[in-house]
Amino acid sequence: MGMPLIGDKFPKLEVQTTQGMIKLPKDFKDSWFVLFSHPADFTPVCTTEFIAFQLRIDMFDDMNCELIGLSEDQVFSHLKWIEWISENFDVDIEFPVIADTGAVAKRLGLIHPAKGTNTVRSVFIVDPNGIIRAIIYYPQELGRNIDEILRAVEGLQTADDKEVAMPANWPCNEIIGKGLIIPAAADIETAVERPLKYKCFDWWLCYRNYYKW
């Protein structure tokens, strides 16, 4: 099997974590989840990322979205690193971290091509139906922007709920702010009606206000 793509079902996996065995995506069937891999425990950039994820965990919770980390380190290494973070930064990591033997990373296509067994900085956003909705990859030298991951989850949930699309830099777009883009018209009648129902720059670029849905 090839690596999973956007729109695919997340592969069925049983993984060992710092919080026991977890079945993916089954154990998260009633929620969204973000699975993110990091190159290795006890590394500088990864440490800053774990702290950043934890400091925003309430924001993910508010969106019914779970977090789960992953690297090719053993459970005792994860536990010791989590303990170190708590002792040195007073931040308790509450999300589970997968202790991968390599099988999960290979199945998801996470092995860094130039770094042996190290996993890339990847992000999989998965919906309650177990469908992969977004995949983001970062090189080892670039730490993730956790606020962008929050934005992606919120945007995908909004798209599902309101059947719309989000503009660039949403919710702070330079043209329409927090406005939501209406799907493109599929026929002449709809194209003619669009400017009468929504705010439009033209029939193919229409939007409505987020708060007046």
Q: Which residues are catalytic?
A: 46
DSSP state of 102: S
Four-point Cα dihedral 176, 150, 104, 140, nearest 10: 90
DSSP state of 27: G
Beta-bridged to residue 131, according to DSSP, are 9
At 132, is the secondary structure helix, strand, or coil? strand
Paired tokens of 38: 């990091």
Q: Which helix (H) or strand (E) holds 17?
A: strand 13-17
To which residue do tokens 């939007």 refer? Answer: 207
